[in-house]
């Protein structure tokens, strides 16, 4: 289905479709993007922006290293001329609330959002995959995101399962000069997205298409082409669904040393002093289907006997840098509204060191328990270490791995 023949965009002048013929498509949008509203059809001004020549070098180097011809670089991710920003005077009124939200609702985020570049994420399902992948890719730009040097606004559109709504979003993306990333199971929807983006000169990436094609070939089976949660689809992975619910409920009940008599029922037991992230880590692992119990180590308080009776291979110690711990605890004490007296005991350096030393001794007495340093690690990073060790111990592979059967 050709989207551009079905939908009529009377007032949006599409960019000239000359980009494919351009022998160096990558650096071009960089320059064009930095210029303010270029004349449509004119060559982008030769103004240089910070990082642009470097990026061009990097992109070209990567293309050459990966054996792609440069004029094919646009095949994986389409690098086209960004559409010049459009004004309401162009007669485009896609959004009846637009003026309200960015006008009178000045307190709204929307006004602030206009400062950065936009990434539109479109999915026919929940959209968590595209969101997760874009977040992971944005991790590659943290060096400039942190100080807002290259501010980015992401917009997730989930449950987009008809082509009309898809086209509304593409038009809105063109208007805003946004990039569009999509996961669309229906091949005709994916094609419409791609074609419309080409038509409007929107840079675009198909997140799941390549991997789905790859798996189809590997398995010798056709993909269903149906978004997750589509009516008429069998309920996905029922066993895993119930396993996750059970794991979450278990982990909540076992949080913070509750019910030590149930430690033997846990898949994983975490032990560490307060503010080593035991709770969020437990919950993260529970979401993945593991029953997790966590046991706090408190200076001078005896640990539950059962902790030393369970399989030591499932116990993990968490440790943290004393200075970082003290900072986190001071912040925490403020949040909890501790009195000065209580606060000092909980967050003062002497006590912090004493408690960490107490924990260190306990962990040292149980050498089978791996000790994981959590300082500066995100929850996911600590979780990855725990699960790698957990599966490695369970399956005794040469290379630590997490294996699953579907």
Residues contacting residue 387 through CB under 8 Å, at least 6 positions apart? 285, 288, 290, 402
Q: Which helix (H) or strand (E) holds 255?
A: none
The window from 11-19, 157-165, 303-311, 355-363 that contacts its own copies (CB under 8 A) reads: 157-165
For residues 66-95, which are near its own copies according to CB under 8 A? Answer: 66, 68, 72, 75-79, 94-95
In the range 49-68, which residues lie near its own copies by CB under 8 A? 49-52, 54-55, 58-59, 61-62, 65-66, 68
d(CA 155, CA 144): 20
Which 338-357 residues touch its own copies, going by CB under 8 A? none
Q: Is 38 in the site for its own copies (CB under 8 A)?
A: no
| Total residue length of the chain | 406
User: Which residues are 269's β-sheet partners?
Assistant: 293, 315
Q: Taking CB under 8 A as the rule, which mask of x and - marks residues 289-328 in contact with its own copies?
A: ----------------------------------------
Q: Kindly state whether residue 210 participates in binding its own copies, applying the rule CB under 8 A.
A: yes
Class of residue 374 by CB neighbours under 10 A (exposed 0-12, middle 13-18, buried 19+)? buried
d(CA 319, CA 314): 17
The residue behind tokens 């929307």 is: 110
> From the CA atom positions of the chain, what is the Rg in Å?
27
Site for its own copies (CB under 8 A): which residue of 163, 169, 196, 266? 169
Site string for its own copies, 368-387 (x = CB under 8 A): --------xxxxxx-xxx--
User: Residue 365 Cβ, how far from its own copies at the closest point, in Å?
Assistant: 28
CB-CB contact of 231 with 219 (8 Å): no
Contact 118, 155 (CB under 8 A): yes
**Under the criterion CB under 8 A, does residue 283 sit at the interface with its own copies?**
yes
Helix axes 322-336, 349-365, angle to 10 degrees: 120
Q: Which residue of 286, 297, 325, 374 would you call a contact of its own copies, by CB under 8 A?
A: 286
Of 89, 92, 110, the residue nearest 100 (C-alpha): 110
Least CB distance from residue 185 to its own copies, whole Å? 6
Q: Which residue's CB is nearer to its own copies, number 244 or number 360?
A: 244
Residue 19 near its own copies by CB under 8 A: no
| 107-146 positions binding its own copies, by CB under 8 A | 108-110, 112-113, 116-117, 119, 125-129, 131-134, 136-146
Compare residues 124 and 355 and give the one whose CB is closer to its own copies: 124
Quick check: 315 and 362 in contact, CB under 8 A? no
Nearer to its own copies, 84 or 125 (CB): 125
Choose the stretch contacting its own copies; rule: CB under 8 A; options: 3-11, 167-175, 262-270, 310-318.
Answer: 167-175
Q: Is 268 in the site for its own copies (CB under 8 A)?
A: no
| Distance (Å, whole) CA 273 – CA 352 | 9
């Amino acid at each position: 289905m050709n989207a551009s023949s079905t939908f009529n965009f009377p007032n949006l002048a599409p960019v000239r479709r000359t980009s494919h013929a351009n022998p160096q498509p990558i650096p071009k949008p960089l320059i064009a993007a930095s210029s303010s509203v270029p004349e449509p059809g004119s060559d982008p001004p030769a103004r240089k922006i910070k990082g642009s020549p470097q990026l061009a070098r990097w992109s070209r180097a990567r293309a050459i290293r990966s054996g792609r011809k440069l004029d094919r670089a646009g095949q994986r991710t389409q690098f086209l001329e960004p559409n010049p920003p459009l004004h309401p005077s162009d007669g485009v009124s896609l959004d009846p609330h637009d003026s309200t939200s960015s006008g009178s609702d000045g307190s709204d985020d929307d006004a602030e959002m206009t400062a950065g570049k936009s990434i539109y994420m479109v999915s026919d399902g929940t959209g968590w995959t595209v969101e997760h992948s874009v977040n992971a890719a944005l991790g590659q730009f943290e060096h400039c995101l942190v100080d807002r040097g290259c501010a980015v606004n992401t917009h997730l559109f989930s449950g987009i399962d008809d082509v009309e709504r898809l086209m509304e979003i593409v038009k809105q993306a063109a208007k805003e000069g946004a990039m569009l990333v999509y996961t669309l199971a229906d091949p005709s929807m994916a094609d419409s997205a791609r074609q419309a983006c080409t038509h409007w000169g929107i840079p675009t990436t198909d997140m799941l298409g390549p991997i789905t094609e790859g798996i189809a070939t590997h398995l010798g089976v056709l993909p269903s082409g149906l978004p997750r949660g589509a009516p008429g689809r069998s309920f996905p992975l029922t066993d895993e669904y119930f396993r996750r619910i059970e794991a979450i409920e278990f982990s909540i009940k076992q949080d913070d040393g509750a019910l030590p008599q149930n430690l033997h029922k846990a898949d994983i037991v975490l032990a560490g002093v307060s503010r080593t992230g035991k709770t969020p880590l437990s919950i993260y692992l529970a979401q993945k289907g593991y029953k997790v119990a966590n046991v706090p180590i408190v200076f001078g308080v005896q640990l539950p006997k059962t902790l030393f009776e369970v399989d030591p291979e499932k116990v993990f110690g968490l440790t943290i840098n004393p200075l970082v711990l003290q900072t986190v605890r001071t912040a925490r004490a403020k949040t909890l509204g501790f009195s000065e007296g209580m606060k000092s005991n909980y967050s003062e350096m002497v006590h912090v060191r004493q408690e960490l030393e107490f924990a260190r001794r306990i962990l040292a007495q149980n050498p089978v328990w791996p000790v994981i340093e959590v300082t500066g690690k995100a929850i996911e990073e600590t979780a990855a270490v725990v699960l790698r060790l957990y599966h490695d111990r369970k399956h005794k592979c040469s290379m630590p791995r997490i294996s699953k059967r579907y």
